[in-house]
Amino acid sequence: MRALVIIDVQNDFIPGGALAVPEGYKIVELINKLQHKFDLVIATQDWHPEDHSSFAVNHPEKKEFEKITWKGREEVLWPVHCLQSSWGAKFHPDLRTSKIEAIFRKGTNPEMDSYSAFYDNGHLKTTGLAGYLKEKGVDELYFCGLAAEICVYFSVMDALEEGFDATIIEDATRALDTTDFENAKKNILEKGGKITTSLTI
Ligand code: VGL
Ligand code: ZN
């Protein structure tokens, strides 16, 4: 059974938002068209409290997009984005949501960022997504959404780790940094993941 996982198609990741991914709006209609080809559609939302440790403003003297060591790991500092219940955290208004059966929210713990749909960045806490999908009998996951080399990428890598067959739909995602996405794709292929386009789905 195949599921489509729509990652963070939220206003803040689309031009006009706080952490805009170039061309982010270009994938929305495509994702709408893809949804009916799947047995199950689920989505994620980045969902941060104001005091979240990934926000540069919460670290005096630090700048946006700077890297810091946080709880023993390297983390990137971002502009304030996807504040819980804000406009920026809402799905893009053109995204079709009627087929989305469940929404998994991540990034709620102020002490820990959470890129993947499955785990926080420290792999300490699960969102419950793997168990949910397994209980539904899903074995093949197709990923789309934003941003390609961050939340989509880490979700694909965790999906592979959890034993799912995982594919990224390349034209239904966009990257903040295209060079990083090229490296991310290599890692996905090396780990046994697949890269495809919407034409073959
Ligand atoms: C994301 C940076 C920070 C993403 C979320 O959805 O890719 N990127 N928070
Ligand atoms: Zn975030």
Give pLDDT, residue 23: 98
Q: Where are the domains of the chain?
A: 2-49+82-200
- Separation of alpha carbons 54 and 75, rounded Å: 7
- Ligand 1 within 6 A of 31 CB? no
- Separation of alpha carbons 120 and 114, rounded Å: 4
Give pLDDT, residue 32: 98
Architecture of domain 2-49+82-200: 3-Layer(aba) Sandwich (3.40)
For the chain, residues with pLDDT lower than 70 are none
The SS3 assignment for 167 reads strand
For residue 66, how far is its CA from the centre of ligand 1 (angstroms)?
A: 14
Give pLDDT, residue 175: 98
Q: List b or e across 96-116, with b for residues whose CB sees 16 or more CB atoms inside 10 angstroms.
A: beeebeeebbbbbbeebbbbb
Residue 180: exposure state from Cβ atoms within 10 A (0-12, 13-18, ≥19): middle
Bridge partners, residue 68, by sequence: 75
Mutate to test the pocket of ligand 1, among 45, 46, 91 (most ligand atoms within 8 A of CB): 46
Give pLDDT, residue 58: 98
120, 129, 169, 186 from 194: Cα distances, Å: 23, 20, 9, 10
- Ligand 1 within 6 A of 158 CB? no
- Ligand 1 within 6 A of 147 CB? yes
The residues annotated with a catalytic role in the active site are 8, 106, 151
The vertex-42 CA angle with 46 and 179, nearest 5°, equals 55
Neighbours of 81 (CB within 10 A): 23
